[in-house]
Structure 1
Amino acid sequence: MWCLLAHPAGSQTPLTGGSASATLLAGLFNSYWEDRARLFPLMATAQGDNRYNDRLPNDQTHAFRQQQVRFYRRYLNDLLNIDRARLSTDDKLSYDIFQYEMRSRLEGLRFDTWMMPFAQFYSLPNSLGQLGAGTGAQPFKTVKDYDNWLARVGKFPVWADSAIGNFRQGMKAAVVLPRVLVLKMVPQLQAQVTTDAAKSLFYGPIAHLPASFSEADKTRLTAAYQQAILTEVVPTYRKLADFLQTEYLPQARSSTGLGDVPGGAEMYRYDVRLMTTTDRLPDAIYQTGLAEVKRIRAEMEAVKKQVGFKGSLPGFFSYLGSNPRFMPYKTPDEVLNAFRGIQARTAPNLPKLFGHAPKSPFEIRQTEAFRAATASAEYNRGTPDGTRPGIFYVPILDATKFNVTSGMESLFLHEAIPGHHYQLSLQQENTSLPKFRRFASYPAFSEGWALYCESLGKELGLYTDPYQRIGALGDEMHRALRLVVDVGMHAKGMSREQAIDYMMANEPISEQSATAEIERYLAMPGQALAYKTGQLKIRELRSRYEKQLGKTFSLKAFHDEILAGGSMPLAVLERRMDAWAARQR
């Protein structure tokens, strides 16, 4: 295979073999990233690419699904025309990840999941609210930014009509959502219905118009936003809510899992493959979950015994949740400072476990009041150039009820350092990776890494207090229970109520929290399996190399190597790490 590259002097140097393959591969990755931004402009906005902020494609149409099929098939075919054998080790890795991604996306487009266009999590109606409020990824700094949003939200009514059409096709085919989810969706949509534009979430950008705008622009934009809210946005949310309430809810299913809809068993097996990046069958994952629940429960019993509590494990959970000694804080600042204290305790030990630290700055913040009631503690990645820090958000509704046994130390290790902050920051700071890898996210890898980091507590100077240890075990138990209830509901006939009861019997969790968790798993089948699956794989690899390499094993080198390549499917990670271990010998 020959390729001509132009050189500055005007001469042309032929490239052969590996050089040509590498050049073709780099060109393919660049062109894919550009085409992907155009096809999925909301993803581009989320990653700070603002070229398509006025676009909102109607992804509910058959034509758009066919466009995706052609898109992924073309890039897969172009990839397969490149000679993998002639590529460098790093390029082979990128080749394999890209091939996995294209095949996986094509497989997903075979299923009738389009007949259930959205649920109460990660839906376009919810995402538009976050973007349009002016506090999300959609920028509102220039007049063009404001006009971009008007153009984007103006396409929402057509999207909604197509979504309703898809819901109706699902009703005919009995591919419908569970009733309990529809009951959560209706109030979410109704919350956006108002007769006063100034009270709408979507009025936020007008309430914060930059002072630098001319009076003419301010007047024009204010009128345009009021009109858009009252004639496009509000009527569309009302139409969706009314449709779900009056037409869809009576035909929503009373059953629980995805296995109860036509073709649902195959859909679920795909979701499991997608979210775990493995070929493990649901039943094998279920058995792993049962074994992990048993193991962690025994460790919890040991801590209960260590602190001298005489009652049952559920009784111990109740004691931890109600004893005032475990709720020492009076103000949100005291809670945040406790997390900063955890960061300070881990800092001296991090260099023992990691050779590379991110350049990106890091902050701990309280979750904003407007979303704290429904938010979990979370990490928001910073920008690769460091202009926006990585932020660990902590929702604090009432500081006096913030419980130290809730797993504060394990939560920090997972969401902040060295969990998501190290993994995501090092990945996007690595400019040697093609962009599709710098910003890739495979939940089994990223959530598996963050959960694995919870197990590093003792090595980082934490978990010296048994009550922090029980919090960490509670966090790990939560992820083990997910393997049982997610597969149980979607593939083994477990009811929603049985799943809630099972969680409450095995971890310190309220009925309200358990219900919210279970309904999340109903809305996103398979997603909850990623955490434990990834953690167990990383732990398995560490144990394997500790045994193989003996005294030559370096935990610091092991961690650096896992993070160096960024997020990837677990099978690709295993091949990469096996090659690393072979080099260490």
Structure 2
Amino acid sequence: MIRSLWLLLCIAVISSCKETTKKEQLNNTKPIAEVFTEFYEFKKNINPIEATKAGYSAYNDTIANYISDDYILHLKDRYTYFLEQLGTYDSTTVSATDYMSMRVMEWDCNVKLEGVMNPIVTVASPIYDLPSFELMPLFQIQSLHLYVAQLAGGTSVQPFKNIDDYNNWLKRLEDYLLFLDTAIEKMKVGMDKGVVLPKVLTQKMLPQVRSFIDIPLEENLFYQPILNFPDGLSDVDMDIIQSNYEDFIQKKLTPKYVELNRFLTEEYLPACRDTDGLLDLPNGKATYQYLIKLHTTTNMTADAIHELGLSEVARISKEMEAVKDEIGFQGDLKSFFNSLRNKEELMPFSKPEEVIESFNAINNRIALHIDSLFTLTPKAGFNVRRTEAFREASASAEYVPGSKDGSRAGIFYVPIPDVKAYNMVHDEALFLHEAIPGHHFQLSLQQENNNLPEFLHPESMGVFVEGWALYAESLGKELGVYTDPYQYFGMLSMEMHRAIRLVVDTGIHAKGWTREEAIQYSLENEAESEESIIAEVERYMATPGQALSYKIGQLKIRELRTKAEKALGNNFNIREFHSQILDSGSLPLVLLEEKINNWIVSQNNLSSKKPTSK
């Protein structure tokens, strides 16, 4: 008995010491704002192009070699460090707003650390537990070689306003050449380990690379800033810059593209695989499950997502049937899809400028109704612009946020590779998604929110960003559009497109579907052209899991809205609900759900305290 009491006393003393240590640790920490600032400096350092995108000029002269062993080891060290820092705070030592930001940071560090822990890297010889995307660093979409070329033209986020800007870009391109060298080295390692791209993706990449080789200097995208000097440069400065750019393009950049083209054509392409999904790579199943977690911020399984996708496809198909019947089309849904692909009334444009004007007209119509759904709106403006010619054929519509200081407006890029074949059936939904109240609203508000630490100002969680944009498409009738049944069908088609992604992405990477099976499934269930469907399926092959984020995020926001409407009844305020969704930056879905649940409780408490009328 005495021994037992002594043991209990020892345990109590040890527990007390631990609690004291914890309290001392909490009391002796630096302000959480300093940790947030340090974390954001780290984030800008590891992704300097994103820093440029956000308007931070200090990083305009560099590109991170994010596929190098040193870079991966640096990530592992830093994410571990920041998790240790966060462990010295809790909800009692910081404000509620900062605590939410802490938890977002913690989630980000944990999931990214899990990702860099997958490859076991030694400087002498990389050994990979899971198929690493460092070994497949270039592909036909969303790849650095495409992004750098987009920056090169001088009309994107890279500034070309003075001599320092021009010099910074050449320095950044020196880093890009180093990245391409590393990419070739990594792809050779991948060839040895059987971690290579599907052959069809490499074939699509070859014309992109060749487009920078056999081309007159004046037509080279990297030379365009020389043809568009800003005011204020002296003749001497312009001559020096022009000479430096010509030397760099002719003596360094073009030879590197020649080398890359030779490697891809003669060595890499013959080694590429004829299979399509991650299942065909070593430990591909585990890799895909990680990518699901990364892109959806959930622990959903591939099977569960696949079944959810099938369910959503069936639901949306019923709505499509109703619209088809309203229009009076005689025939099945697949025949209706085919009729839309070639319907002359939906392809009325003869000049690309007319497409842009049409989007501006949609903007004007929505502006009349926006106050009915939103009190929180951004200060930043945006422009609708045609996608650059070099990437237009394989590009999707996209939104690029403006600079944080407002000096550069956001850009809604629209690809128009063949204006006479441009089909406008999706345009209202596309505008709602990419511009207002989709990406332009959400990303601009996030960037302008002074209550958030700066690391939460960039795009961040794709499942939130894309989930919000897809949810925004559903607001069309409330915002005065979708009065034309064809445009409403276009919205259903875009939602169907995202539901199909759940089926096809998991089909390719978890269920052994071939590229051809994925294309056929898409053709049978949506109105997109075969050409665009092929490009989409190949996108899923290149970026596994990313396409899942849209529908998973949208369904969660819609679920939370329905829950709030039911719980609050007449006290539900849609404008306040949207403010709650948008005023904390990009959140992992588990934190978003927790926030809205707390808001519902607080609103119910407020209503219960209101005096009743007699």
TM-score interval w.r.t. the shorter chain?
A: over 0.9
Q: For residue 194 of structure 1, report the CA deviation from its aligned partner.
A: 3.7
Q: Supply the AA of the counterpart residue of 1:46.
A: K
Pick from 449, 454, 457: which aligns with 2:476? 457
Instruction: Give, in whole Å, the separation in 1 of the partners of 2:352 and 2:215.
Output: 36
The residue that corresponds to 1:350 in the other structure is 370
CA 1:21–1:487 in 2, change beyond 3 Å: closer, same or farther? farther
2:380–2:402: 8 Å Cα contact kept in structure 1? Answer: yes
Q: Deviations over 1:209-231 (max 9, x none)?
A: 34533333333322222221122
Does residue 300 of the first structure (1) align with residue 307 of the second (2)?
A: no
- 2:380 and 2:134 mapped to 1: Cα distance? 38
In the alignment, the residues of structure 2 paired with residue 297 and residue 148 of structure 1 have an alpha-carbon distance, to the nearest angstrom, of: 52
Q: Name the counterpart of 1:510.
A: 529
Alpha-carbon displacement from aligned partner over 1:494-553 (angstroms, at most 9, x marks no partner): 100000011111111111111000001111100110000000000111111111112211
Query: Aligned residue for 1:385?
Result: 405
Between 60-69 and 477-486, the greater mean CA deviation after superposition: 60-69
Q: Which residue of 2 aligns with 1:34?
A: 41
- CA contact 1:345–1:461 (8 Å) conserved in 2: yes
Q: 1:425 aligns with which of 435, 441, 444?
A: 444
Write the distance in 1 (CA, Å) between the matches of 2:42 and 2:445.
25
1:332 Cα shift? 4.2
> Matched residue of 1:242: which SS?
helix
TM-score w.r.t. structure 1 length?
0.92
Q: Specify whether residues 397 and 171 from structure 1 end up closer, same or farther in structure 2 by C-alpha distance, changes over 3 A only.
A: closer
Alignment CA distance shift 1:203-1:427 (3 Å): same
Spell out the pairing of 1:119-158 with structure 2 (5 A cutoff): 119-158=139-178
| Deviations 1:106-160, CA, capped at 9 Å, x for gaps | 1111232211122112222222222223222222222222222222212333322
Secondary structure in 1 aligned to 2:413? strand
Find the aligned partners of 2:458 and 2:544 in 1 and give their Cα distance: 23
Change (3 A) 1:214 1:338: closer
Structure-2 change in CA distance of 1:211 and 1:299 (3 Å): closer
Specify whether residues 118 and 331 from structure 1 end up closer, same or farther in structure 2 by C-alpha distance, changes over 3 A only: closer
- 2:104 matches 1:97: yes
Counterpart contact for 1:273–1:280, Cα < 8 Å: yes
Find the aligned partners of 2:382 and 2:215 in 1 and give their Cα distance. Answer: 41
Counterpart check, 1:570 vs 2:577: no
- Matching residue's letter, 1:483: L
Counterpart selection for 1:494 from 488, 513, 517: 513
Q: 1:22 to 1:437 in 2, by over 3 A?
A: farther
User: Counterpart of 1:268?
Assistant: 288
Post-superposition shift, 1:22?
Answer: 8.9
| Counterpart Cα distance in 2 of 1:249 and 1:399 | 33
Q: CA deviation at 1:369?
A: 5.2
Q: Does 1:313 align with 2:333?
A: yes
Which segments of 5 or more consecutive residues in structure 1 lack a partner in the other structure? 1-15
Alpha-carbon distance in 2 for matches of 1:163, 1:335: 38
Change (3 A) 1:332 1:300: same
Q: Secondary structure at the match of 1:391?
A: strand
User: Does the C-alpha gap of structure 1 residues 365 and 21 become closer, same or farther in structure 2, counting only changes over 3 Å?
Assistant: farther
Amino acid of the residue matched to residue 431 of structure 2? Answer: F
Matched residues, percent identical?
45
Q: Give the whole-Å Cα distance in 1 for the aligned partners of 2:189 and 2:599.
A: 51
Kept after mapping to 2: 8 A contact 1:171/1:248: yes
Aligned CA distance change for structure 1 residues 272 and 505 (closer, same or farther; 3 Å)? same
Q: 1:248 to 1:332 in 2, by over 3 A?
A: closer
Aligned to 2:603: 584
Distance 1:313 1:34, change over 3 A: same
Structure 1 stretch displaced more, 442-451 or 329-338 = 329-338
Moved more, 219-228 or 172-181: 219-228
Conserved? CA contact 2:459–2:465, under 8 Å: no
Which residue pairs with 1:46 in the alignment? 53
Once the two structures are superposed, the pairs formed by residues 197-346 of structure 1 within 5 Å of their partners are 197-210=217-230, 212-346=232-366
CA distance in structure 2 between the aligned counterparts of 1:527 and 1:41, rounded to whole angstroms:
22
1:549 corresponds to 2:568: yes
The RMSD of aligned alpha carbons is 2.2
3-state SS of 2:92 partner: helix
Aligned pair in 2 of structure 1 residues 275, 214: CA closer, same or farther (>3 Å)? same
Counterparts of 2:382 and 2:143, CA distance in 1:
29
Contact 1:448 1:535 in 2 (8 A): yes
Deviates more, 1:359-368 or 1:564-573: 359-368
CA distance in 2, matches of 1:576, 1:82: 20
TM-score, L = length of structure 2: 0.88
Alpha-carbon distance in structure 2 between the residues aligned to 1:130 and 1:584? 47
Give the conservation status (yes or no) of the 8 Å contact 1:342–1:409.
Answer: yes
Q: What SS does the corresponding residue of 2:31 show, helix, strand or coil? A: helix
Residue 475 of structure 1 deviates from its aligned partner by: 0.8
Q: How many residues align?
A: 569
Does structure 1 conserve the Cα–Cα contact (< 8 Å) formed by 2:54 and 2:402? no
Seen in structure 2, the aligned counterparts of structure 1 residues 115 and 326 have a Cα distance that, compared at 3 Å, is closer
Q: Provide the rounded CA distance (Å) in 1 between the counterparts of 2:28 and 2:370.
A: 40
Change (3 A) 1:543 1:529: same
Q: Structure 1 pair 556/52, CA: closer, same or farther in 2 (3 Å)? A: closer
Is contact 2:26–2:88 with CA below 8 Å preserved after alignment?
Answer: no
Aligned letter for 1:99?
A: E
Report the secondary structure of 1:392's partner residue. strand
Could you list the runs of 5+ residues in structure 2 that have no partner in the other structure? 1-22, 119-131, 605-614
What is the letter of the counterpart of residue 503 of structure 1?
S
Q: Relative to structure 1, is the Cα distance of residues 318 and 35 closer, same or farther in structure 2, using a 3 angstrom cutoff? A: closer
How far the C-alpha of 1:492 sits from its partner, in A, is 0.2
Aligned to 1:160: 180
1:55 aligns with 2:75: no
Deviation, structure 1 residue 441: 2.1
**3-state SS of paired residue (1:96):** helix
Q: 1:52 to 1:328 in 2, by over 3 A?
A: closer
One-letter amino acid of the counterpart of residue 35, structure 1? F
Map 1:5-84; keep pairs closer than 5 Å: 24-84=31-91
1:194 to 1:221, Cα distance in 2 relative to 1, 3 A: farther
The alignment partner of 1:139 has SS state of coil
**Per the alignment, in what secondary structure is the counterpart of residue 384 of structure 2?**
strand
CA pair 107-53 structure 1, distance change in 2 beyond 3 A: same
- Do the aligned residues in 2 keep the contact of 1:176 with 1:252 (CA within 8 Å)? yes
More off after superposition, 152-161 vs 525-534: 152-161
Structure 1 counterpart of 2:193: 173
Q: Deviations over 1:331-388 (max 9, x none)?
A: 4454444333333333332222112221222443444556544433322222333332
